[in-house]
Each structure stands twice: as structure tokens, then as C-alpha cells.
Amino acid sequence: MSLVTFTSTLHKDKTVYAVAGSHTQTILSLAKEHHIPIDFGCGEGDCGTCLVKVSSLDGKRRPMGGPLNAREVAVLKEMGRVSQAEIDQMYVDDIPPNHWRLACQMIVRGGEDLLVEYPSK
């Protein structure tokens, strides 16, 4: 089980439970389920609209999560949010290279409480 806290400058913080061991629940699907207004477009990892910043809730380290998938790598690189050196290191460490993720692509895994910062319009 994980707690995921969504925060933005315009909305009240909201903390929700993520399904334990889900292999399909994304940050975006969790946000939609709880009426958290993360902006999104394609829902398929192509447009970058759902960019969020994800941290461990304790703030002490990068979230473990899973490494970026190929779509996230392509879009985040294009947006200048991740460098090739960070991507190369990600494949060595098997954890995300930094805090930037696409909410529609990041699968929530159990065992780690997360802070998700999303942009406010």
C-alpha cells in the first residue's frame, strides 16, 4: 500500500491510497479517480501535458518507482527534463533518473509514499 499526496499551488493537498501491487494504476488514473485536476491530453505518453514532479514523501531521495518507459524517455528528453547521461544512468541504476514523470505513464508501485506536484492553471 502506498499513500500518494497530490499538491499544487492552487488546490488543497489531497492524500489518497494507491492500490497495492497494481501493475496498471498510473498517477493520472489515480488522480482522475479522486477528482484531482491534473491536466492531460493524449493519455498515451505522447504530448507531455501531464508532466508532474514526483518525490518520495520523506523528501530524502528520488522515488524508486520503475524506470521511465520509452515514451517517457522520448517526451521528457524533448521537453528538456532529462538528459541522455541521466537516461544512461537510469538503465544502470534501474530507478528513475530524476523527479520528472508523465502522470499517464508512471505506474504507482506499493511500498513507497509519494508526493506528486502538478502544475496549476
Chain positions contacting ligand FES, by CB under 6 A? 40-43, 45-50, 75, 102, 104
Least distance in angstroms from the C-beta of 75 to ligand FES = 6
Least distance in angstroms from the C-beta of 105 to ligand FES = 6
Least distance in angstroms from the C-beta of 116 to ligand FES = 13
Reported for 22-27, long-range contacts at CB under 8 A and 24+ positions apart, including other chains, are: 22/107, 22/108, 22/110, 23/107, 24/107, 25/107, 25/108, 26/103, 26/104, 26/105, 26/106, 26/107, 26/108, 27/52, 27/54, 27/101, 27/103, 27/104, 27/106, 27/108, 27/116
In the complex with ligand FES, the residue whose CB is nearer, 44 or 93, is 44
In the complex with ligand FES, the residue whose CB is nearer, 21 or 41, is 41
Least distance in angstroms from the C-beta of 28 to ligand FES = 7
In the complex with ligand FES, the residue whose CB is nearer, 102 or 114, is 102
In angstroms, the CA 112 to CA 107 distance is 12
In the complex with ligand FES, the residue whose CB is nearer, 40 or 100, is 40
In angstroms, the CA 8 to CA 6 distance is 7
